[in-house]
């Protein structure tokens, strides 16, 4: 079982849209996928048409793997399950803080799911907190959506430096440009130059497209309701790059 996460300290950069679409593409490739919505805003839960409710709330969830297992719901898509968010997840930090080794808790809770899933995708809330730190400790690959500005690259370097201080397992960081606007010269310049210069920046960029906003209307991944759209093709390109980094995500032979 591999663990992927979308993370950025900044809000509204495309973390959830990416988590939902790549989870769908992985499930379509035949991987058994669990998308875990760790954000009390419950956007991923909404997009997959699941009720944002966990029996016993965040408190039950961090108690043990059995409680976590009981909270998992199916979605409309084969091979894709969801751990819904619950509004009590706003207190997840406090709940984690009360445990032993809080930053390792999430990894420990997820480990027993290895028999049921090939991939767990963590959709992280914005900010830097115990929840996000736990996500960084649990993940094999962290996907970081960035808007192409010099400042957001500084944030990426801060994240990489933070992770390099971890002892034990460190996730691989793969940043990608998100919500790029081809009409902006700076966006074009940065999205072409950076992937060539840095191996932690993906070649695929996700453009700003109203089709992606439509996900909230359709309540489905754009890769499912408009598979031939430019938006879906961009996510497919990003997924192929993630698979190139982690061959175990290639799925069973057809």
Binding part of the chain for ligand ATP, among 66-74, 77-85, 168-176, 203-211 by CB under 6 A, reads 203-211
Angle between helices 102-110 and 130-138 (to 10 degrees): 50
Binder among 2, 23, 36, 39 for ligand ATP (CB under 6 A): 39
Pick from 216, 230, 244, 248: which binds ligand ATP (CB under 6 A)? 216
Does 105 bind Mg ion (CB under 5 A)? Our answer is no
What does 209 interact with, of Mg ion, ligand ATP, none (CB < 5 to 8 A by kind)? ligand ATP
Interaction between residue 76 and ligand ATP (CB under 6 A): no
Q: Which is nearer to ligand ATP, 47 or 95 (CB)?
A: 47
Binding to ligand ATP (CB under 6 A): which residues in 88-127? 126
208 contributes a contact to ligand ATP by CB under 6 A: yes
What token pair was written down for 12? 């509204």
- Angle ∠(101,103,106) on CA atoms, nearest 5: 100
Candidate list 1, 2, 7, 16; residue touching Mg ion; CB under 5 A: 16
Identity of the residue, 15 or 32, whose beta carbon is nearer to ligand ATP in the bound complex:
15
Q: Which is nearer to ligand ATP, 13 or 27 (CB)?
A: 13
Q: Give yes or no for residue 215 binding ligand ATP (CB under 6 A).
A: yes
**Nearest approach, Cβ of residue 212 and ligand ATP (Å):** 4
Q: How far is the CB of 16 from ligand ATP (least distance, A)?
A: 3
Q: Which does 127 bind (CB under 5 to 8 A by kind): ligand ATP, Mg ion, none?
A: none
Q: How many Å from the N-terminal Cα to the C-terminal Cα in the chain?
A: 20
* 30 near ligand ATP (CB under 6 A): no
If one asks whether residue 14 binds ligand ATP (CB under 6 A), the answer comes out as yes
Which span sits near ligand ATP by CB under 6 A: 14-22, 53-61, 65-73, 84-92? 14-22
């Amino acid at each position: 079982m591999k663990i992927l996460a979308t993370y950025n300290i900044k809000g509204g950069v495309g973390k959830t849209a990416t988590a939902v679409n790549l989870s769908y593409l992985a499930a379509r490739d035949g991987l058994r996928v669990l998308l875990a919505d760790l954000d009390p805003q419950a956007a991923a839960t909404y997009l997959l048409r699941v009720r944002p409710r966990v029996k016993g709330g965040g408190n039950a969830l961090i108690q043990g793997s059995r409680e976590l297992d009981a909270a998992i719901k199916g979605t409309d898509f084969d091979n894709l399950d969801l751990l819904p968010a619950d509004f009590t997840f706003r207190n997840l930090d406090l709940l984690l803080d009360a445990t032993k080794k809080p930053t390792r808790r999430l990894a420990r809770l997820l480990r027993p799911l290895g028999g049921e899933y090939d991939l767990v995708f963590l959709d992280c809330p914005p900010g830097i907190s115990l929840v996000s730190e736990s996500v960084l400790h649990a993940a094999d690959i962290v996907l970081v959506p960035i808007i192409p500005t010099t400042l957001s690259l500084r944030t990426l370097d801060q994240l990489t430096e933070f992770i390099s201080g971890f002892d034990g397992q460190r996730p691989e960081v793969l940043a990608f440009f998100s919500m790029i606007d081809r009409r902006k010269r700076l966006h074009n310049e940065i999205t072409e130059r950076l992937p060539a210069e840095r191996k932690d920046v993906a070649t695929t960029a996700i453009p700003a497209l109203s089709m992606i906003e439509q996900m909230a209307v359709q309540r489905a991944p754009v890769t499912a309701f408009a598979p031939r759209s430019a938006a879906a093709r961009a996510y497919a390109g990003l997924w192929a790059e993630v698979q190139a980094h982690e061959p175990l995500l290639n799925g069973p032979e057809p």
